[in-house]
Amino acid sequence: MDFCLGVLIVTTDPTLATDPLGDSLFGEYARMLLVGTAGCSAIASAVRVGLDPIAAILVLGNILVLASLVTSQLAGIFRCMLLIGFALALSWATIRSSGEDVWWSPVVFFSPAVLLASLLLLAARDFVTEQRRRSDSHHPACLRSYRVWGFAIGAGVLLIYMVIVPSVDSFLEQFRERPSSYTSEELTALEQLRIRTAKFAVFAVFAYFGACVGSFLNVVAASAPRGESITLRSSSCPQCQTPIWRIDNLPIVSYLNLGGRCRSCGVGIPIRYLTVEIVAMTIFAALFLYELVTGAANIPGFTHYPYAGILWIILYTKWPVIGIYFYHCALLSCLLMLALMEADRLRCPRWLAATLMAAFLLIAIASPTILPVSLVDHLPLRLPEVIPPWGQRLMTSIAGAAMGWLVSTAAPQARMRNRQWTSSTPLAAILIGIALGWQATLTIGMLWLLAATILKSIGGPRLRPRWLTPTMLLFAVTMLHHPVWKWLAQHW
């Protein structure tokens, strides 16, 4: 739900400085609530369109509420008339339909009465705004294009996934000799829409959680090496010292919403914050797609389940897969954080390094399934039976850590620039070793050196930016290795 609200703030418009729904924190939250409810209600009504004519009216009304919250492109008075006109049409259609409880119909979030109230509220807002509107806009034009693009891309992806794909699928179904699966045989396009909406919501929750992790990584990478507190710190603008509102602290969304500028003083926020949040979101989203919902299909030596998919892995929770997913997401997030510190020429503090190693090691020892590749895989050896399973896992992790340290001695060869800082690489490689085992660490190490050699031979200074440190390259190679881990392990 937070995600839905978060996405929709992108679409709300802070440029209306005199907007009664925008110039206070309460107003912002009221608008978020209204947008979120209208959005959910529009989707819920859309699912019912085939069953219920009044649902079609509700869809249109909700879309109109959304549109008027979303954009200020329409002239205020015109939009005001449109809202009032639609409110009248809604009343007329509702009164004409025979059901007595239609006004408070419980089947959708927005009953017609609430929708009518929203329409009138927005019309009143437009009227007030138009009265108080100042013509000067102090936001540069690029802000608007950021937001418009973000909204357009998001809407396009949703449209393709939820409407176009199932429509094409059910259209092609009639040409197939046998139904491809039980779902396309029995489900109508509307039911598919509903299922896809639910699936997308689950995916979005995981992906946005990744963006929140990325936001935290930004703070840790900048604060921990300087000895500043990580948690007990209220965020404020470094330029004007104004405390940052909670609504401006949402990962990715707030950056786009503010167009990369401080709300109070307008100073630019470095694009790096946005980039890190997007990369962290990519980690969680990519692993969700190829590791979590496939039932860890990319992991060698993992006992697979007969069923996979969001329903079978997440809703009928398979804890081993979920554990592996979060363990690997945590590993990749830590690598990203170390790479950020290295790019800033900061050293990871000892307490943080020790905590990370201890945490990854303890989890690897405690969980029986999180280290699927044991010490002796790929070797003509057998561990003696007297060693208990946790002892074998400890040996596996220690061997991985040793291999990681060995790999990290090649860091000088992986430098992209002369005398580049390489302080994070040993810790990053050791963490990879602890979490993935020595075999994968060796593969990653070889690919890492190969990638460094190729980049150095083809790259001019443009291809070797300052942030492309050895640890950043190691992170990138680990990301690329992860989906093909099982395939590579078979060819070992």
- Positions touching Zn ion (CB under 5 A) are 237, 239-240, 262, 264-265
CB nearer Zn ion, residue 262 or residue 472? 262
Q: How far is the CB of 258 from Zn ion (least distance, A)?
A: 10
Measured from the CB of residue 236, what is the shortest distance to Zn ion in angstroms? 8
Compute the least distance from the CB of residue 267 to Zn ion, in Å.
5
Which one, 265 or 484, has the nearer CB to Zn ion? 265
CB of 243 to Zn ion, least distance (A): 10
Nearest-approach distance from CB 20 to Zn ion, in angstroms:
24
**Residue 28 or 291 with smaller CB distance to Zn ion:** 28
Give the integer Cα–Cα distance in Å for 158 and 103. Answer: 30
| Closest to Zn ion by CB, 56 or 237 | 237
Residue 269 C-beta: closest distance to Zn ion, Å: 9
Residue among 89 and 244 whose Cβ is closer to Zn ion: 244
CB of 356 to Zn ion, least distance (A): 33
Of the two residues 189 and 265, which places its CB atom closer to Zn ion in the complex?
Answer: 265
Which of 248, 342 has the CB closer to Zn ion? 248
